[in-house]
C-alpha cells in the first residue's frame, strides 16, 4: 500500500507518526513540544495560556508553526515526505478556533515563499482558543441543558450532558461575553478540523468523533442538531461546516506543502478526529466489546460499542467512532495508580513486594473488600476522599493489596455495564500492565482474556491507520477496519492471560457484595 502520516495535535505537543503498511512498521515518530519552542512567543506553559477565572486557552497560530516544524523534523529524521500517500490526524478534543471571513481565501491562497503562521495571522476573530481544560463555562452548561429541555434531553440527543470542557458551552460563553468578536466570526473550527484545514488549504468540517465532544451533534444521525445549536448561540448553523465523513478524503495537500516541505501533489488529506476517538482506532478497538484499559494515575477505559447508549448517571462520555459505524465509551476512574500507590506506600512496599502480596493472597480475598477512594472519585461519583474496608483488617498487608486491585477490577465491570455490550477482550496498557497477577484479576472479574499492550502514541497511530483506510477507500479498494488495524495493534498472543473459570463463582459473589457496599457509600 504505502506510507501514511498521522498527526496528533495535543495539549503540550504535536506528534507525527508515519507507518509503512507494506512492512507493517512505524517508520518515524517525532514530536514538537510547544513549551520548548514557543513558550516565550505565545506565553504558553505546558501548552496552555491561563487567562484566569478558569479560562484555559491555547494559540492556534502556535499550532500552525508547530505543523511546519513537525514537517522539518520528520524530514530531518530521514522521512521523504514525498512518499506519504495520505495524512489524517487528531486534535485535543473540545477546543474551539474562531475564524473570520478571510480564513477561507487566505488558506486557499497560501504562498510557499513565506511561512504559514505569518500568512494566517489575520484569519482569527479571536486570537486564542479555549481548550478542554477550560472551566469557565458552568453557567453556559446549565443554560444549554435547559434550552434543549433538560440534562437528560441533552444526554439522549447528543450522547453527553453538558460538560464545562465541551465546545458548545465554550461557544456560548464567547457569544455572550464578546459579542463584537462573535459578529466577526464567520466559521468555528475545532482543533482537529483547524489543523486539517491548514493542510488542505480550505476549511474542512469536523468529523463525527470530535463532533460528539461538542454537545451540538445528534449522536445517532451524526449531524448537527438544530435544537442544540439553537440552545447554544444565534446563527450557529451557518458558522459550522457540515459534519465531515471521517473516512472520506477531502482533497490533496495545498501546493504550499508540496513546494515548501516536499509532499507529493497527490498526497491526500482526511478530516482529523478527536484524540480519544482516534486512539480507539490506534488501540485496535473496531469491534463491539473490544476494550482497552490504560492504567495511569487515573485508569481510563476505552470501549467500542455497537450502539449509542448513554450512562444516565453520567459515568463516562460517549463519542462516535471515526470508523463510521460504531461508538466509543470513555470512562475515567480517578483512583488508578493513585490508589495502588497509596496502598503500596501505606504498607512500605515496593512494586515487587506489591506483586508478592498479590501472588500470596487468594482470589476473592475471603470476601474482604475495600472502596479505594483515596481521592474524590469520578466513577462512581464520590465527592470526598474516603477509604472503606469491609471484612478487611487494615493491618493485614496481603489482603489490603489484593483488595485495592479487586476493587478496581470490580468497579470497571460494574461501571461499564451501561454500555450494554459484553467485554470480550481487554487490552491493558500502562505501567501496572506488566504485573500478571493484576491482569489475572481483571481477566477473572470480566471473564474474558486480558492482554498487556504496549502503545506508542495511540492517537497518532489511529490517525495514520485512518489515512491508510481512507486512501484505500478512495482508490475503490476499501478494506475492513479489522484488517487495517490488526498488523499494528495486535498484542503478542503469548502474553495473553485467560480467565480462570474456577474463580467465576467467587467473583460473581464478590461483585454482588461490592456493588452493595458501593451503593451504601458512594455519592
Ligand atoms: C476528553 C478530554 C481530553 C482531551 C485531551 O473528553 O477532554 O482527553 O481530549 O486531549
How far apart (Å, rounded) are the C-alpha atoms in residues 27 and 6? 12
Res 64: pLDDT: 98
Q: Quick check: helix, strand or coil at residue 119?
A: helix
Write the burial class of residue 446 (CB in 10 Å: 0-12 exposed, 13-18 middle, 19+ buried): buried
- What stretch of H or E contains 515? helix 504-521
pLDDT score of 273 more than 80: yes
220/302 same-domain check: no
- Is 197 inside any structural domain? yes
Atom of ligand 1 nearest to the CA of 276: 9
Quick: pLDDT tens for 16-40.
999 999 999 999 999 999 999 999 9
Which of 242, 258, 277 lies at the terminal end of a domain, its last residue?
277
Res 434: pLDDT: 87
* Number of independent structural domains in the chain: 2
Q: What is the CATH number of the domain that holds 360?
A: 3.30.420.40
Which of 277, 298, 329 lies at the terminal end of a domain, its last residue?
277
311/327 same-domain check: yes
- Mutate which of 276, 299, 302, 322 for ligand 1? The one with the most ligand atoms within 8 Å of its CB, which is 276
189 lines ligand 1 (CB under 6 A): no
Residue located nearest, by CA, to atom 9 of ligand 1: 93
210 lines ligand 1 (CB under 6 A): no
276 lines ligand 1 (CB under 6 A): yes
DSSP bridge partners of 93 = none
**Site of grid cell 506508542:** 456
Quick: pLDDT tens for 371-411.
999 999 999 999 999 999 999 999 999 999 999 999 999 99
134 lines ligand 1 (CB under 6 A): no
How far apart (Å, rounded) are the C-alpha atoms in residues 141 and 127? 23
User: Please, are residues 65 and 18 in contact by the beta-carbon 8 Å criterion?
Assistant: no
24/46 same-domain check: yes
Q: Measured in angstroms, how far is the CA atom of residue 277 from the centroid of ligand 1?
A: 10
Quick: pLDDT tens for 124-160.
999 999 999 999 999 999 999 999 999 999 999 999 9
Residue located nearest, by CA, to atom 7 of ligand 1: 132
- Is 95 inside any structural domain? yes
518/406 same-domain check: yes
pLDDT score of 1 more than 90: no
400/499 same-domain check: yes
Q: What is the mean pLDDT of residues 111-125?
A: 98
pLDDT score of 268 more than 90: yes
pLDDT score of 182 more than 90: yes
pLDDT score of 274 more than 90: yes
Q: Measured in angstroms, how far is the CA atom of residue 93 from the centroid of ligand 1?
A: 5
Q: Measured in angstroms, how far is the CA atom of residue 274 from the centroid of ligand 1?
A: 8
Degrees to nearest 5, angle at CA 315 with 311 and 318: 60
132 lines ligand 1 (CB under 6 A): yes
90 lines ligand 1 (CB under 6 A): no
- Is 115 inside any structural domain? yes
CB-based contacts of 476, cutoff 8 Å, min separation 6: none
How far apart (Å, rounded) are the C-alpha atoms in residues 170 and 431? 35
Which of 217, 247, 277 lies at the terminal end of a domain, its last residue?
277
Quick: pLDDT tens for 55-78.
999 999 999 999 999 999 999 999
- Is 473 inside any structural domain? no
Model pTM score: 0.95
Q: Give the max Cα distance, the chain.
A: 72
272/334 same-domain check: no
Residue 159 has a CB neighbour count (10 Å cut-off) of: 24
Q: Measured in angstroms, how far is the CA atom of residue 459 from the centroid of ligand 1?
A: 11
Backbone conformation region of residue 321, classed left if phi is above 0, alpha if psi is from -120 to 50, else beta: beta
Residue located nearest, by CA, to atom 5 of ligand 1: 92
User: Please, are residues 333 and 411 in contact by the beta-carbon 8 Å criterion?
Assistant: yes
Q: Quick check: helix, strand or coil at residue 325?
A: coil
- Is 189 inside any structural domain? yes
Backbone conformation region of residue 270, classed left if phi is above 0, alpha if psi is from -120 to 50, else beta: beta
Res 491: pLDDT: 84
Res 493: pLDDT: 85
CB-based contacts of 381, cutoff 8 Å, min separation 6: 313, 314, 522, 523
- Is 355 inside any structural domain? yes
How far apart (Å, rounded) are the C-alpha atoms in residues 453 and 283? 9
Res 448: pLDDT: 97
Q: Around 136, how many Cα atoms within 13 Å sit in the side-chain half-sphere?
A: 18
Average confidence score pLDDT of the chain: 97
For the packed helices 504-521 and 397-414, what is the interaxial angle rounded to 10 degrees? 80
Which domain, by its residues, includes 441? Answer: 284-454+492-523
- Going 220 to 225 to 231 to 237, the CA torsion angle's sign is positive
Quick: pLDDT tens for 332-372.
999 999 999 999 999 999 999 999 999 999 999 999 999 99
Residue located nearest, by CA, to atom 6 of ligand 1: 93
398/440 same-domain check: yes
201/342 same-domain check: no
Atom of ligand 1 nearest to the CA of 11: 10
Amino acid at each position: 500500500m504505502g506510507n501514511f502520516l498521522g498527526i496528533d495535535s495535543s495539549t503540550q505537543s504535536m506528534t507525527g507518526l508515519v507507518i509503512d503498511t507494506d512492512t507493517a512498521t512505524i517508520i518515524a515518530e517525532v514530536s514538537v513540544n510547544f513549551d520548548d519552542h514557543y513558550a516565550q512567543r505565545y506565553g504558553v506553559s505546558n501548552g496552555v495560556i491561563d487567562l484566569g477565572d478558569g479560562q484555559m486557552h491555547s494559540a492556534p497560530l502556535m499550532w500552525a508553526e508547530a505543523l511546519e516544524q513537525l514537517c522539518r523534523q520528520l524530514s530531518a529524521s530521514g522521512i521523504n515526505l514525498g512518499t506519504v500517500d495520505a495524512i489524517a490526524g487528531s486534535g485535543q478534543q473540545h477546543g474551539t478556533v474562531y475564524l473570520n471571513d478571510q480564513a477561507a481565501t487566505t488558506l486557499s491562497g497560501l504562498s510557499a515563499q513565506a511561512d504559514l503562521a505569518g500568512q494566517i495571522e489575520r484569519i482569527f476573530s479571536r486570537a486564542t482558543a479555549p481548550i478542554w481544560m477550560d472551566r469557565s463555562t458552568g453557567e453556559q452548561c446549565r443554560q444549554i441543558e435547559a434550552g434543549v429541555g433538560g440534562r437528560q434531553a441533552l444526554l439522549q440527543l447528543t450522547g453527553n450532558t453538558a460538560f464545562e470542557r465541551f465546545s458548545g458551552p465554550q461557544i456560548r460563553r464567547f457569544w455572550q461575553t464578546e459579542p463584537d468578536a462573535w459578529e466577526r466570526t464567520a466559521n468555528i473550527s475545532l482543533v482537529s478540523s483547524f489543523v486539517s484545514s491548514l493542510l488542505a488549504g480550505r476549511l474542512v468540517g469536523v468529523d463525527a468523533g470530535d463532533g460528539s465532544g461538542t454537545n451540538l451533534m445528534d449522536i445517532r444521525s451524526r449531524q448537527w442538531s438544530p435544537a442544540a445549536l439553537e440552545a447554544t448561540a444565534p446563527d450557529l448553523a451557518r458558522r459550522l461546516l457540515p459534519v465531515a465523513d471521517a473516512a472520506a478524503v477531502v482533497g490533496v495537500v495545498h501546493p504550499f506543502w508540496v513546494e515548501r516541505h516536499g509532499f507529493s501533489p497527490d498526497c491526500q488529506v482526511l478530516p482529523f478526529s478527536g484524540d480519544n476517538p482516534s486512539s480507539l482506532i490506534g488501540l485496535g478497538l473496531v469491534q463491539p466489546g473490544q476494550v482497552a484499559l490504560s492504567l495511569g494515575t487515573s485508569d481510563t477505559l476505552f470501549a467500542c460499542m455497537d450502539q449509542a447508549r448513554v450512562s444516565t448517571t453520567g459515568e463516562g462520555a460517549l463519542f462516535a467512532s471515526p470508523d463510521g459505524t460504531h461508538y466509543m465509551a470513555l470512562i475515567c476512574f480517578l483512583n488508578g495508580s493513585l490508589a495502588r500507590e497509596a496502598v503500596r506506600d501505606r504498607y512500605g512496599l515496593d512494586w515487587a513486594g506489591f506483586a508478592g502480596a498479590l501472588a500470596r493472597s487468594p482470589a476473592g480475598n475471603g470476601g474482604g473488600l475495600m472502596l479505594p477512594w483515596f481521592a474524590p472519585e469520578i466513577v462512581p461519583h464520590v465527592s470526598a476522599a474516603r477509604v472503606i474496608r469491609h471484612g478487611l483488617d487494615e493491618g493485614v498487608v496481603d489482603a489490603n493489596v489484593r483488595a485495592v486491585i479487586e476493587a478496581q477490577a470490580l468497579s470497571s465491570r460494574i461501571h461499564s455495564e451501561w454500555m450494554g455490550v459484553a467485554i470480550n477482550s481487554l487490552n491493558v496498557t500502562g505501567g501496572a500492565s506488566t504485573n500478571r497477577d493484576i491482569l489475572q484479576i481483571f481477566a477473572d472479574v470480566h471473564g474474558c482474556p486480558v492482554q498487556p499492550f504496549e502503545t506508542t502514541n495511540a492517537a497518532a497511530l489511529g490517525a495514520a491507520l485512518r489515512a491508510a483506510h481512507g486512501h484505500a477507500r478512495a482508490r475503490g479498494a476499501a478494506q475492513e477496519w479489522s484488517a487495517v488495524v490488526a498488523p499494528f495493534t495486535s498484542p503478542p498472543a503469548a502474553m495473553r492471560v485467560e480467565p480462570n473459570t474456577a474463580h467465576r463463582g467467587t467473583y460473581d459473589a464478590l461483585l454482588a457484595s461490592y456493588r452493595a457496599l458501593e451503593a451504601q457509600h458512594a455519592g
